[in-house]
Structure 1
Amino acid sequence: MSVNNRFVYDEKTSTLYAPDGTFLKKLFCPKAKQWNQLLVGPNETRWRGCKECKEKVFDLDGVSFQAAMDLLLNRWSTACVHVSEISTNVIFLKDRNAVRRVEGASDDPIKIKTVYGKADIARGYAMGYWPDVRIIRPDPKMNSKITVGQHPVTGEVNYSHDYRKSFREYEDDEDSRTDGFKEVHPFVSYYPYHKSEPVAAFLVPKGLKNGTRVSVDDPIENIIGTTWNQGGGWKAGNIPGYIENNKVVLELNKVKVSHAVG
């Protein structure tokens, strides 16, 4: 019977676990150091040194499983560990929405990732990005609407964002609901991009020259891309721009607004 001696790394939470699921360590470098930036010791393959925090950073592929467990379970240890994405000693639980480092160069605009909240901004910084931090400001012109209906017998709840699909019942009105749902809350407007924290950032790869072409799919600012004759507006996407002193300058004059009717 084989024994599982592979660690488990949850990419979404940056957490390392023992094979049996025991929490070991949060892997987060506030100095945003990469393995190849650390100091190589003479005749040493198990660890490298960090001149910023003066700690040893142990490679999980360079130390034995038991030595790594002893290190990680020692409550007095402040040592760091390095996990390679191609490690045979670690099982990776991938985060499909994680920010990836930009590799290589291309004539196409660089896609800029948008992150929300202090934790994801810190995570982007730790991965080597320059966070172009901005404040989220709700805009009354950027809104949606919702009404709520409920079945008086079953209790089932339904929703509508379209004035033509109201839960109110009117005589001789073909647009009124006839499926038994009754209106419990009339239409109300709301800001559809609410976040629990008012900070966000564009993650800019470090070292980009001024003038580098970029594209932003998810702008932090309320830049309208679509309007509806029933009212409301929604964000534009795929906005072109360029880099100026590690900041994203969006070219708003190139945004095309679509006007929906219905």
Structure 2
Amino acid sequence: MTPFEPAPEIRRISTARSLKAMNRAVKQGFRPLIKKIEPNPEIQTKYQVVQHRETGEVRCDGDYRATQFFGLSQEWDVIIPWTFRYPYAWDLPFAAYLLPPDLEVGEDVILDDLIEDLLGTVWNQGDTYRRERCKARWTGTDFELLHTNDEDTRIIVG
């Protein structure tokens, strides 16, 4: 390839997260590569719940600066103090990459909805989020994920 030739288009692989979607894809000629969903304990977001003493209004905050920006005062009670939790929920404990019938061994693709729980974004307030997509190479039986957390992880400051 010369510098003037366009880069070849990289194929995108979809993910099915329901049995209906998996079976629909099978009827269209795709083969589901089913993988167990395993939450990564490094991925977490925080929240606190506060309630106004007079009105009963309830608020849920996810930013430590909420007290400063929203003027929490003595009028608000903390009902649930800052707590971390895993922020993602799936209907099934597994999902499937939908493999096209002509996928070739060694072919590089983009997995658009990554099943594997890889770190994608880190916020300096302690929250971490999963990577949504990733470049990968088909080995003939599975995908080799082509990433490094150090280089690919986004950092949010604020």
Asked whether the two chains share a fold, i.e. TM above 0.5, the reply is: yes
Aligned mates of 1:246, 1:208 — CA distance in 2: 11
Indicate the structure (1 or 2) with the bigger Cα radius of gyration: 1
Alignment correspondent of 1:247 = 142
Aligned mates of 2:24, 2:82 — CA distance in 1: 39
Unaligned runs of 5+ residues in structure 2 are: 1-6
Alignment correspondent of 2:81 = 186
Aligned mates of 2:75, 2:29 — CA distance in 1: 55
Alignment correspondent of 2:124 = 229
Question: 1:201 Cα deviation (Å)?
Answer: 1.2
Structure 2 residue 63 is the aligned partner of structure 1 residue 162: yes
TM-score normalised by the chain length of structure 2: 0.79
Paired letter, 1:189? F
Question: 1:206 Cα deviation (Å)?
Answer: 1.4
Alignment correspondent of 1:256 = 152
Indicate conservation of the 8 Å contact 1:204/1:246, yes or no. no
Indicate conservation of the 8 Å contact 1:132/1:248, yes or no. no
Unaligned runs of 5+ residues in structure 1 are: 1-105, 167-173
> The residue matched to 2:23 in structure 1 has which SS?
helix
Aligned mates of 2:74, 2:98 — CA distance in 1: 48
Q: Which of 14, 26, 46 is residue 125 of structure 1 equivalent to?
A: 26
TM-score normalised by the chain length of structure 1: 0.51
Paired letter, 2:31? W
> The residue matched to 1:125 in structure 2 has which SS?
helix
Name the structure, 1 or 2, with higher relative contact order (CA <8 Å, separation 6+).
2
Alignment of 1:198-217 (within 5 A): 198-217=93-112
Per the alignment, do residues 229 and 222 of structure 1 end up closer, same or farther by CA in structure 2, a change over 3 Å counting? same
Alignment of 1:1-262 (within 5 A): 107-166=8-67, 174=68, 177-178=72-73, 180-245=75-140, 247-253=142-148, 256-262=152-158
